[in-house]
Structures are given as C-alpha cells and as structure tokens.
Amino acid sequence: MSSQQADLIEAIGASLAVVVPPEELEAARIKVVLERPKIAEHGDFACNIAMQLARGLKRNPRGLAEAIVAELGRSPKSAALIATAEVAGPGFINLRLRPAAKQEVVARILAQGDAFGRSARGRGEKTLIEYVSANPTGPLHLGHARQAALGDVLASVLEAQGYAVTREFYYNDAGEQIANLSASVHARLAGLVPGDPGWPPLAYNGEYVADIARAYNQRQCVTADDRSFTASGDPEDLAAIREFSVAYMRHEQDLDLRAFGARFDNYFLESSLYRDGKVDEVVVALIGADKTYEMDGALWLKTTESGDDKDRVMRKSNGSYTYFVPDIAYHINKWQRGFRKVINVQGSDHKSTVDRVRAGLQGVNLGIPEGYPGYVLHKMVRVVRGGEEVKLSKRAGDYVTVRDLIDWAGRDAVRFFLVSRKADTEFTFDIDLARSQSEENPVYYIQYAHARVSSVLAQWQERESGNLNQLLTVDLEPLNTPREAALLRRLSEYPEVLVEAADEMAPHQIAFYLKDCAADLHSYYNAERVLVDDESLKRARLALLLATRQVLRNGLALLGVSAPDKM
C-alpha cells in the first residue's frame, strides 16, 4: 500500500467517525479497503465500505455513502488529494485524484529508486521456501526448471515485502532411486550399455551415466555444495560408486542451477534424517499418539482422520518406509528451526503427498497448525520448436533438461516464460517465440521498453549535457495527456502488484504487470514526442520515462531477468 492510499483510507475513516457513532463503528470491525476500478472512467479508486456497514447499522447503503462523501468534501486534507468523490449504484464510492496527486508517483519512484515497491510488511518473519529438491540421479528436467523459476522469484518477492527468507534445496539422497543410479554406473563400468544382456532393468539410460563412470574410472575428484569426493576407480566398490555418483550429480545440478540464476541458502539431505534417527522418532511419536495401526504386516497412518480418502502405509512389510514418512520428519525439522511460514514449490504430481504430510504433522502433537506447510503446486511444461514437440535429450536419455532449455532460448527467456503463467496451468514453451525479436515475445517487448527509455535519456544527456539528477525535482504539472495519465496510473499500481503477488504466492502477476507497463510505455512513446522545445514539458516527460525505466528495472530484477540499456 502506498502512502497515498494510506492517506485516502485515513480520510475515509475520519469521515466515517463523524457519520457513524463510534460504538457502532467499533462493533462492526470492518476495515476500509480501496480497490482499483477495472474501467478507468469510473475513477482512480473505489470503496464499498458503506455497503459493508449498512446492514449492521440498519441504514440505507447509498444514503450512508452520500453522508461519507459529504464529510470528505469538508476535509481540507481530503481536498488536497481528491478531485471528486461520487456515489455510484447501491453505494459504491468512486474517487478521482487531483492531477498533482497522480503525478506524485514519479517523484516517489525517483526518490526511492531500487526500493520502490518494497515494504516491511513481513516484519522479518522467518520464512522457508523449498524448491527444486531433485533426486541427485540425473540432470534437472523441465519440471525442476519451472520450480526453480517459481521458487526463486517467489523468494525474491517475499524478501521485497520484508520477510526473512531462506531458500532451501532438499536432496532426496536415500532410497531405491539412488540404488538404481549406483547400479547404472556399476553396469557402465563393466562395459555394458543400454540394451545389452545384463543391463539392469531399472537403470538410467542417459549419456550422463557414462560420464559418471568415466570420471569414476579416471579417479576424478568432484565437489558438491557441502562435500568433495575422490573416486577410487575400483569397479566393485559399490559404496564408493554410490557416494561418487551422488556427489557427481549434485555438482552437475549445482552447475545447472547456477546457469539458471537460482541460488540457495541451505541444502538439506534426506539421508541425514535416517542417520540422525529422526524418521524413527516420527514413527514412534505417531504410534504413541494412536495415529497408526498394523495390518497385513505393514504399519498404517490414519490419514482418513484428516480427510484423506483412505489410510496410507507408513512402513512396508519389508521394513522400509514409504516416501512421505521422511517428509514428515523433514517438516518437523523445519518447524523446530523456527520457520512458521513454510512454502513448498512442487509438481502437481505431489498433490497426494500434501494431506499425508499434514496429517503426520498434526499427529505428533507439536502444536504445528493445520495447513502447514503451504504449497505451490505447478503443472508440467512441454517444449515446442518448429511447431513440433521436443521430448528427448541425448544427455538425459528421455527428457529435455534445464541446460537444454537455456542453451536453446537463453536464461532471460527461460526464467520469464516459466514464471509468466499461473503455476497450476499447463504451459507450452515455444523456443521460436522465445528467440524472436518481436512484440509477440514478452521478454523482448519488456526489455525493449527499458532500452527505448535508456536511448531517449542518453540522447538528452549527449545533446544537452543533461544530468539525470536534474529530473529528480522537476515540475510534473505538464503531464496531463490521456496516455500520460495511463502510464502514471500503471506506475502507481506496482507496489500493489507486489503485495498481491506475495500474499497469493503468485509471481506470474509481476510478469503480467511488466508486459502491461511496457505496452503503456510503447503506446506513449509512439504518440508523444519527448525531446520537445518546451523545456518544462520536456523535463517532465523525461522524468516520467526515467520513473518508468526504474519500475521496469525493479520488476525484471525480481524475476531475475536482465534490463539492457541497448538492444
């Protein structure tokens, strides 16, 4: 919320205090909220407080709205902001700001710079966002790429709203898949290739397995985020093959994430939960809380008590745990580390895990609230090039990798495209579109808007020895054309977009906003000359462009996309 909106809410609240008895207003406990009308002609802000209060106060909503508007007209403070206040329909209050109040956003943007749109709303609340969390058994695939984009941008958005964010990667380095990776490398060391007699039936077939075997045979040393391991070269040392293979793939994934521009503050190993006895502790706690029962030689969790369609096996008849049991232990660890706000970014194929993990967390009686942790579940991505779907990668064997996508389209396009749709919608990544230099490519369209402004500012600086600092305090009154009004309105919406993106865990809204802002800029640039002879008008328009560039730059930075000055 901007200081301007806060002033408007305060003004409406002061008017309410005059027209509604204080005890009745206090009993209603309804807050004043401002909305942006979808149609600009309806005003700059709308408020439905009169309709919210009318029934409880047994008053006519339109009459109450008219009383509030009349009181607003008597307030000198309101008069400085509000040009007109009108009652519409059954009791909406539509507000139009004075031109100076609309223009004020330019000065605010230029004064705040990179901090424009940021706030302290989160008040330093410890927040953990877990994303990617890939098994270290192969290159990162497109699902991991979408997670990396969504998680990394959401973390940046929450940081911009004052949350103390930790980015975490959970390595699934225990279980059958790791055993399959080890068996695959062992087979390669024996000279086998996919399709040969004796090739393990669940082996990984990609060329990366051959790379691991070659590195192991050469006694290479690999360094992952928390370890270095030197291969012994012994083709029969299964434990060494396992450890080297996991370290090798973790290192490879680190390189992919670095190329993608995703960073993490902490890496957590699933194996540590077994090593430290945390998985067994969870099972004991759930048995003690009477949340389990035994049947057919297996241990079951009573997930139906939490709304699941059937109870779920925790421990199989062979003594091994199902995949969600260590997940419960992991989230207890998050809670014990003090993270009360936790968001997991995962594929929609994990939807069934949500209820099971939450049921387990409720069963251990640690005071963990229902709905913990929060989830952003995304659908998968398909890649199209030349009108045909691309499905295979030689290196991975049977899927397109993150590195493939970056090599084909570039990091900026990959990051923007993968966050430009709601997480729960399917997405087709068009390589040809991502590489095109046209207004149909949203990345190019937005970056070109930034570069276009930079070009105009550079021309002014070169021709007239202009200094950008001269634009910080110019008179903005000349900004009065319809397209200038549209651009001013768009700029003023940016802080609200960040709030909504954070609260709804919806980073795609920033991508939508940037495209709309770029469209307003291009429309304005094509309709109005900036470097005009009128000095006051020229400087006002230059200040508007400078503010627009700042907002585009701020938004692109949150997405992890570059803002070039030349294209």
Per-residue pLDDT tens for 244-287? 999 999 999 999 999 999 999 999 999 999 999 999 999 999 99
Q: What is the pLDDT of residue 392?
A: 67
pLDDT tens profile 435-476 = 999 999 999 999 999 999 999 999 999 999 989 999 999 999
What pLDDT, in 10s, does the model give residues 197-212? 999 999 998 899 999 9
Q: Is the pLDDT at 56 greater than 90, yes or no?
A: no
Instruction: Judge whether 293 and 300 are in contact, CB under 8 Å.
Output: yes
Q: How many CB atoms lie within 10 A of CB 126?
A: 15
Is a pLDDT exceeding 70 seen at residue 394?
no
The residue ranking higher by pLDDT, 30 or 480, is 480
Confidence class of residue 80 from pLDDT cuts 50, 70 and 90? confident
Domain spans of the chain?
A: 3-97, 439-559
Sign of CA dihedral 206, 212, 214, 215: positive
pLDDT at 24: 81
Residue 31 has pLDDT above 90, yes or no: no
Give the pLDDT of residue 5: 83
- Edge to edge, the sheet with strand 298-301 lists 292-295, 298-301, 312-315
DSSP single-letter state for residue 141: B
Per-residue pLDDT for 73 more than 90?
no
% of the chain surpassing 90 pLDDT: 80
The pLDDT, as a whole number, for residue 443 is 97
CA angle 552/113/165 to nearest 5° reads 80
Using pLDDT thresholds of 50, 70 and 90, give the confidence band for residue 42. confident
Query: In the prediction, which pLDDT does 501 show?
Result: 97
Quickly list DSSP for 236-261.
T-HHHHHHHHHHHHHHHHHHHHHHHT
- Kindly write down the DSSP assignment for every residue of 453-477, as one continuous string: HHHHHHHHHHHH---GGGGTT---T
pLDDT at 218: 96
Tell me the whole-structure pTM to 2 decimals. Answer: 0.91
Provide CB contacts within 8 A for 366, sequence distance 6+: 332, 335
Contact yes or no for 308/359 (Cβ under 8 A) = yes
Partnered with residue 130 across adjacent β-strands are 168, 344
Other Cβ atoms closer than 10 A to 294:
10
Average pLDDT, the chain: 93
**Percentage of residues in the chain having pLDDT higher than 70:** 98
Q: Please state the rounded mean pLDDT for residues 23-40.
A: 83
CATH architecture of 439-559: Orthogonal Bundle (1.10)
pLDDT value for 352: 81
Q: Is 96 exposed, middle or buried (0-12, 13-18, 19+ CB in 10 A)?
A: middle
Residue 63 in this model has a pLDDT that exceeds 80: yes
According to the model, what pLDDT value does residue 55 have?
A: 84
Q: Which of 25-39, 126-140, 219-233 has the highest mean pLDDT?
A: 126-140
Q: Name residues whose C-beta falls within 8 Å of residue 472's C-beta, 6 or more positions apart in sequence.
A: 107, 110, 111, 543
Q: Which residue has the higher pLDDT, 31 or 565?
A: 565
- Looking at residue 393, its pLDDT comes to 66
Task: Return the minimum-mean-pLDDT range out of 23-27, 56-60, 170-174, 274-278.
Answer: 23-27
Task: Please state which CATH class domain 3-97 belongs to.
Answer: alpha beta
Minimal CA–CA distance to 7: which of 489, 15, 91?
15
Q: With contact defined as beta carbons under 8 Å apart, do 371 and 403 qualify?
A: no
Asked if residue 3 has pLDDT above 80, the reply is no
Q: Which of 143, 151, 503 is nearest to 348 (CA)?
A: 143
Q: Per-residue pLDDT averaged across 371-394, rounded?
A: 89
pLDDT given at position 249: 94
Of 304-308, 419-423, 429-433, 452-456, least confident by mean pLDDT is: 304-308
- In 3D space, the residue among 52, 96, 53 whose CA is nearest the CA of residue 78 turns out to be 96
Cβ(150)–Cβ(142) below 8 Å? no
Band (pLDDT 50/70/90 cuts) for residue 412 is very high
